[in-house]
């Protein structure tokens, strides 16, 4: 659906316009106060011929021109009749403030379904219902129902939220400047994904900022993320309701370790989405990206402090958040020493003292010297800007930063305060005007800076998505033998194996396979074999094999009386190595997610896993492996033999390609453990679960 008439209308009608407090009055006041072009505004109220000195029309049909957007400030029962009138005026967009729809339960949902059906029939894109409205600061349209302080809020952040109050919080934030703000409310026939897609395409929007409660168009969301990644347009998302309830019935370790929250984080990571943990981060990241003049070319930072104490605090924060500190070149170090008094320090973090902070030309020269150092990619001034400019240090430092930013080739500069204050607006505006973000305080600042550095220095690798085309019910689990055979059919190397229905058959098969052997119950009804006595290891001869067969069959018959027992699975014992797990969990929204982590008996204990959407490139697979906390165990930790990391990456890629191909059949896949040695990778066990339909 085309959203131009909704978000970029040329003619607007406020239906239910009023001078009284409430949606009608507050929306009319806001529009008259903030909107640039009032010639194309029409007020509608059947009881008032004039509102705030402007002509009011009895109905939409009485307006003498076509209307692109109607803002409906009227009760629920009037909405559909008004949409029908609006359609006669060639209307393409409507803002509906009325509540009492899907947010109220089954009865309200029925009313919303009727609204969607009628809006779709009429070809009208509806914002809401139960929303706060929109503001287009580029074209000067303020169709918003909540009263706000009168000031300029124009900028380049496009914000969409399923909560009107969060939009209001964004509008109240002094550092946020907007191209568009959108309160999507219940998201009638226009979903939050549609708004995100619009903002990614919008040339006036530099940063897309969003609060999301639910996802209804996963395929469009992934396509929008991909488009933003290719454009290098940052998206910042605060997502609530991040639960793993949809994974409660998972049959495997993979399902329990990769719930919906982890899957969404994997999607964010794949496409370079900034994830905000709360509203402070949402606004902080969005504003920083909005103000930033250019992205850093690398990750190495220099932090400049005015005191040794603050330098110490900075050093701790930098280490905690993994911010790489630049090592000065010798000539830079020598020059900085000429600027700093004996009680200062030219370490990084840099205790430059008030001798530099109070001296604009000297600090300007220090910034130039640091920026010219090829080992430096970004500079962060760590000092608190207070409500009043009573500290001359602030004035001198801000002026020095302004002068430095005017230098050709100057590296990006950030400003990090230590204590929360209402910032001096003149200093903040001076920084914004030269592309220097004024970050939130310490921990928030370091986290945001880390995310920006990660985003700036990570090249997006465009791999195709694998979002399912249909939903499923029911599931079918396969035995280890069947699961391994399926892997082999898809190009995955598996160890030799054989099925034996009787002890005599097991003995005969053992001659072919060779001792020592592992012996496991062969039954699709028993998923976790060791829990019911269904596994015996290191079987070295015929006598032990017969005993193992009898013990396994007896134990499983007693502990799982309803299971179909088809015999045992025989495999040669594998050479021990680092135990890893590889898995796939097919998310109902985003498709198959590939997991790798520490496996064996430690899988649930340490939960050291990496998750990514299928399919994977080889570099993405290697990145997942190297992102594990247990990666040193694979890389020759403390003199140990390094494992075949390349072989593990190849296995991940093959599994991911199979999962992408089977996106509408595969539900879960659990390969655990995978033994990784210096000589290769070997699969010890597998569980495959598919959808029944």
* H or E segment and range at residue 653: helix 645-661
Give the model's pLDDT for residue 356: 87
b or e along 286-313 (b: 16 or more beta carbons within 10 Å of the residue's beta carbon)? bbbbbbbeebbebbbbbbbbbbeebbeb
The domain made up of 496-572 has a fold known as: Dna Ligase; domain 1 (3.30.1490)
Strand blocks (E) in 231-355: 235-239, 274-275, 301-305, 350-351
* In the predicted structure, residue 205 carries a pLDDT above the cut 80: yes
Q: Which CATH class is domain 148-291?
A: alpha beta
The conformational region for residue 22 under phi > 0 = left, psi -120 to 50 = alpha, else beta, is: left
Measured between alpha carbons, how far is 240 from 255 in angstroms, rounded to an integer? 21
d(CA 597, CA 577): 14
pLDDT class of 390 with cuts at 50, 70, 90: low
The 8-class DSSP code of residue 91 comes to: -
- For domain 578-691, say whether CATH 3.30.470.20 is its number: yes
The stretch 191-211 carries a mean pLDDT of 97
At 159, list the tokens. Answer: 């914000």
Dihedral of the CA atoms 84, 89, 93, 95 (nearest 10)?
-70
Q: In this predicted structure, which of 110-119, 190-199, 418-427 has the lowest mean pLDDT?
A: 418-427
For residue 637, the 8-state DSSP code is G
Of residues 478, 480, 476, 524, the one with CA closest to residue 693 = 476
Write down the pLDDT at residue 588: 80
Q: What is the average per-residue pLDDT within 613-621?
A: 95
* CATH of region 1-131: 3.40.50.720
Asked whether the beta carbons of 380 and 418 are under 8 A apart, the reply is no
- Per-residue pLDDT band for 434 (boundaries 50, 70, 90) equals very high
Q: Domain boundaries in the chain?
A: 1-131, 148-291, 300-440, 496-572, 578-691
- Largest alpha-carbon pair distance within the chain? 102
Task: Please tell me which residue, 252 or 47, carries the higher pLDDT value.
Answer: 47
Q: Note the pLDDT of residue 260.
A: 67
User: Of all helices (H) and strands (E), which one includes residue 212?
Assistant: strand 207-212
- H or E element at residue 455: helix 442-457
The pTM (predicted TM-score) of the whole model is 0.90
- Once rounded to an integer, what is the mean pLDDT over residues 463-484? 84
Mean pLDDT, to the nearest integer, of 530-540? 94
Helix/strand/coil (H/E/C) assignment for every residue in 17-81: CCCCCCHHHHHHHHHHHHCCCCCCEEEECCCCCEECCEEEECCHHHCCCCCCEEEECCCHHHHHH
pLDDT of residue 419 exceeding 70, the answer is yes
**What's the pLDDT at 256?**
42
For 505, half-sphere exposure in the C-beta direction (CA atoms, 13 angstrom radius) is 10
pLDDT of residue 639: 65
Common-topology check for domains 300-440 and 578-691: no
Span 359-369, pLDDT tens digits: 999 999 999 99
Binned at pLDDT 50, 70 and 90, residue 278 comes out as: very high
Cis preceding-peptide flag for 659 (omega within 30 of 0):
no
* Mean pLDDT on 438-442: 92
**Which CATH architecture best describes the domain 300-440?**
3-Layer(aba) Sandwich (3.40)
* Nearest-angstrom CA–CA distance, 373 and 346: 14
| Spatial distance between the Cα atoms of 208 and 389, rounded to a whole number of angstroms | 33
Structure tokens at 545: 């094999």
Between residues 219 and 256, which one has the greater pLDDT?
A: 219
Packing angle, helices 218-231 and 192-201, rounded to 10:
20
The residue among 671, 627, 587 whose CA lies nearest residue 253 is 671
- Give the residue with greater pLDDT, 45 vs 308: 45
Grouping H, G, I as helix, E, B as strand and the rest as coil, residue 271 is: helix
Rounded to an integer, the average pLDDT of 521-543 is: 93
């Amino acid at each position: 659906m085309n959203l131009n008439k909704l978000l970029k209308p040329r003619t607007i009608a406020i239906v239910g316009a009023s001078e009284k407090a409430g949606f009608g009055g507050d929306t009319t006041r806001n529009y008259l106060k903030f909107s640039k072009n009032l010639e194309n505004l029409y007020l509608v109220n059947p009881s008032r011929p004039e509102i705030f000195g402007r002509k009011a029309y009895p109905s939409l049909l009485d307006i003498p021109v076509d209307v692109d957007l109607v803002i409906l400030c009227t009760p629920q029962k009037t909405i559909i009749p008004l949409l029908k009138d609006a359609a006669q005026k060639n209307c393409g967009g409507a803002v509906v403030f009325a509540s009492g729809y899907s947010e109220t339960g089954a009865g309200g949902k029925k009313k919303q379904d009727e609204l969607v059906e009628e809006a779709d029939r009429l070809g009208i894109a509806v914002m809401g219902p139960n929303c706060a409205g929109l503001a287009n600061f580029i074209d000067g349209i303020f169709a918003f129902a909540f009263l706000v302080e009168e000031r300029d809020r124009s900028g380049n952040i496009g914000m969409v939220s399923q909560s009107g109050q969060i939009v209001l919080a964004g509008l109240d934030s002094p550092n946020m400047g907007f191209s568009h703000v959108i309160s999507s409310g219940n998201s009638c026939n226009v979903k939050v994904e549609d708004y995100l897609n619009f903002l990614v395409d919008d040339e006036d929007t530099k940063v897309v900022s969003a609060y999301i409660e639910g996802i209804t168009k996963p395929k469009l969301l992934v396509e929008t993320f991909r488009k933003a990644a290719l454009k290098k347009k940052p998206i910042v998302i605060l997502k609530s309701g991040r639960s793993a309830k949809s994974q409660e019935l998972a049959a495997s370790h993979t399902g329990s370790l990769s719930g919906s929250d982890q899957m969404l984080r994997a999607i964010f990571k794949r496409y370079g989405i900034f994830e905000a943990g709360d509203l402070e981060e949402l606004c902080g990241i969005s504003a920083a990206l909005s103000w930033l003049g250019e992205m850093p070319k690398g990750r190495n930072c220099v932090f400049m402090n005015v005191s040794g104490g603050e330098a110490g605090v900075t050093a701790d924060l930098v280490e905690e958040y993994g911010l790489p500190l630049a090592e000065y070149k010798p000539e830079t170090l020598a020059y900085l020493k000429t600027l700093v008094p004996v009680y200062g320090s030219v370490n990084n973090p840099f205790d430059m003292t008030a001798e530099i902070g109070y001296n604009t030309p000297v600090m300007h020269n220090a910034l130039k010297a640091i920026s010219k150092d090829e080992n430096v990619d970004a500079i962060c001034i760590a000092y608190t800007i207070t409500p009043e400019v009573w500290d001359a240090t602030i004035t001198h430092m801000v002026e020095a930063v302004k002068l430095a930013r005017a230098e050709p080739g100057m590296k990006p500069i950030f400003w990090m305060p230590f204590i929360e204050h209402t910032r001096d607006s003149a200093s903040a505006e001076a920084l914004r005007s030269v592309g220097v973000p004024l970050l939130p305080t310490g921990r928030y600042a370091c986290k945001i800076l880390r995310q920006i550095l990660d985003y700036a220095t990570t090249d997006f690798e465009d791999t195709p998505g694998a979002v399912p085309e249909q939903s499923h019910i029911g599931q079918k689990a396969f035995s280890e033998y069947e699961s391994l055979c399926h892997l082999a059919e898809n190009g995955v190397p598996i160890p030799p194996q054989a099925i034996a229905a009787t002890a005599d058959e097991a003995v005969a098969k053992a001659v072919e396979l060779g001792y020592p052997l592992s012996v496991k119950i062969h039954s699709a009804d028993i998923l976790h074999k060791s829990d019911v006595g269904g596994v015996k290891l290191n079987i070295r001869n015929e006598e032990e094999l017969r005993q193992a067969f009898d013990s396994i069959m007896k134990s499983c018959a007693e502990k799982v009386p309803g299971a179909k027992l088809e015999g045992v699975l025989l495999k040669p014992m594998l050479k021990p190595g680092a135990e890893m797990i590889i898995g796939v969990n097919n998310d109902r929204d985003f498709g198959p997610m590939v997991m790798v982590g520490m496996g064996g008996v430690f899988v649930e204990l340490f939960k050291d896993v990496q998750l990514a959407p299928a399919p994977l490139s080889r570099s993405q697979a290697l990145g997942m492996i190297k992102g594990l906390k247990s990666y040193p165990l694979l890389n020759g930790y403390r003199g140990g033999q390094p494992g075949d990391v390349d072989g593990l990456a190849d296995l991940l890629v093959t599994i991911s390609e199979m999962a992408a191909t089977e996106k509408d059949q595969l539900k879960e896949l659990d390969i655990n453990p995978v033994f990784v040695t210096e000589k290769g990778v070997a699969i010890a066990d597998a569980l495959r679960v598919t959808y029944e339909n």
